[in-house]
Structure 1
Amino acid sequence: MQFAPGAALFFDIDGTLADTDPVHLEAFNRVFEPFGEFFDRPRFIRELQGFANVDIARRLLPQLSPQEGLAVLDHKEAVFRELAHTEIHAVPGLFYLLDLAEAAGLPIAAVTNAPRANADLIIDGLGIRQRFAAIVIGAELPHGKPHPLPYLEGLRLLNAKAELSVAFEDSRTGIASSVAAGLATVGIRTSLEDVDLRAVGADITTASYDEQSLLDFIAARIAMATV
């Protein structure tokens, strides 16, 4: 895999490295049941997937103080981590692409709205921590996704150029963030369909990282001449 100086790959974590959305859905339903809330898959995708916890608390728990709302979401994340210990499975083809990138020396970062403890659990559960040159946590920045700042921070940390880089995302908020930061974006079809991912800005979509059309797309992007 040949690449131009300044090229890099950026991966969201939940639903992109591992198909964790079903585990998050279960955790949300367990924790929000006392508040009279139930989430089926369409509602999960519409109201929860990819959003920062501070935004979820503000929308769904307006009767609570900001601190109380975040405490509920912290509990949800703890339930998620308990469930996820035995439910972390890589998206198909992930290791193939990571192996190609590592062999070529292409830098990789993770960019997520997930809490750091969740990010650590998934990355370590997959055994891929050494693959990442940086891990960007949206909640540790002034703005998380869908704001472009998480990806801009990832570009800064890797000394990468947006026009030479590719982001991998599975949610509407994530795609909005990466596209706003100027990155070509691949939609991962773990939850949303091709039409939904393209509608919010994905350049291409895939269900597996080893599809030849995806590899060709990445190769063309990272070899692009800088302007």
Structure 2
Amino acid sequence: MNTDLNPAGETHVDFERLAGMPVAGLIFDMDGTLVDNMHVHNDAWESWHLRHGLPFERERFFRETAGRANREVVKFSKPDASEHELDTLGQEKEEIYREIYRSQMAPMPGLMALISASEAHGQKMAVATAATPENAALVLDGLDLRRHFVTVVSPSMGYRGKPHPDLFLAAAQAMGLVPAQCVVFEDAPLGIEAARNAGMRAVGVKTMLDDAALGGPNTVFSITDFTDERLKGLLGL
């Protein structure tokens, strides 16, 4: 496999040469991937922006912020915020989100069947999410998903957010795998880019965006949900 590192420490890979490599690990983003909830996050961000008298362009905001750590997202809208304000304002948005989403939670169609098939096949799984620990607990514990994953990594553990490769590389390390053995499931361009920077193939999940938006040299294909039959061939199920 032909790889090299750029000055930021990100890996560049010839992804065409990975096409036939068996998949040993699945790494899932959470919001918009394990669950179809990104529209709720956007609703919460829109309410937050209105509350603070800030403009909000929904599609642009999603494209430019989805996958980033919460402090980075707040700074995107309030660049002059102090360190304390970044935390306080981010917590405010997440409280709005949890209040809206708590009664709506459901796994993505086909997710539980895919998890069962992957476990039976001996594949390891992990979650790499920009969500806060409280939001991760809401979904992963509320839907009893956490037990299926070797690890759950997030910026709250000291990692840089997407598009940096940190989260995906940490997930692979926890599973005892190299990047080439992993496939990432992501619903946002920054997540696809982070997977590319980690040297991993990606499958786009079209909960918010289309194929074109989720395309990249490392994108194998994009799916509407986990019932897509192409996953069986990719994952060897």
Using the size of structure 1 for normalisation, the TM-score is 0.88
- Does 2:28 match 1:20? no
State the Cα deviation string for residues 31-80 of structure 1 (Å, max 9, x = none): 22132224353133233322211211222112321211221111111211
1:151 aligned partner: 168
Within a 5 Å distance, the mapping from 1:75-86 to structure 2 comes to: 75-86=92-103
State the Cα deviation string for residues 112-148 of structure 1 (Å, max 9, x = none): 1111111111112222121111101123224121100
Within a 5 Å distance, the mapping from 1:195-206 to structure 2 comes to: 195-199=212-216, 201-206=218-223
Gaps of 5+ in 2: 1-20
What's the RMSD between the two structures over aligned residues?
1.9
Aligned identity (percent) is 32
AA matched with 2:173: R
Aligned partners of 1:106, 1:214: CA distance in 2, in Å? 14
Within a 5 Å distance, the mapping from 1:58-77 to structure 2 comes to: 58-77=75-94
Alignment counterpart, residue 191 of structure 1, candidates 202, 208, 219 = 208
Aligned partners of 1:25, 1:148: CA distance in 2, in Å? 24
AA matched with 1:121: L
Within a 5 Å distance, the mapping from 1:33-48 to structure 2 comes to: 33-48=50-65
8 A Cα contact 2:27 2:183, kept in partner: yes
1:225 aligned partner: none
Moved more, 28-37 or 203-212: 28-37
Aligned partners of 2:47, 2:62: CA distance in 1, in Å? 17
AA matched with 1:93: G
Alignment counterpart, residue 117 of structure 1, candidates 130, 134, 137 = 134
- Does 2:203 match 1:174? no
Using the size of structure 2 for normalisation, the TM-score is 0.85
Moved more, 28-37 or 93-102: 28-37
Moved more, 150-159 or 197-206: 197-206
* SS of residue matched to 2:213: helix
Aligned partners of 1:199, 1:152: CA distance in 2, in Å? 19
Runs (4+) off by over 3 Å: 38-41
Alignment counterpart, residue 229 of structure 2, candidates 212, 221, 225 = 212
* SS of residue matched to 1:168: strand
1:224 aligned partner: none
1:10 aligned partner: 27
Change (3 A) 1:200 1:47: farther
C-alpha deviation, 1:191, in angstroms: 0.6
Gaps of 5+ in 1: 221-227
Q: How many residues align?
A: 217
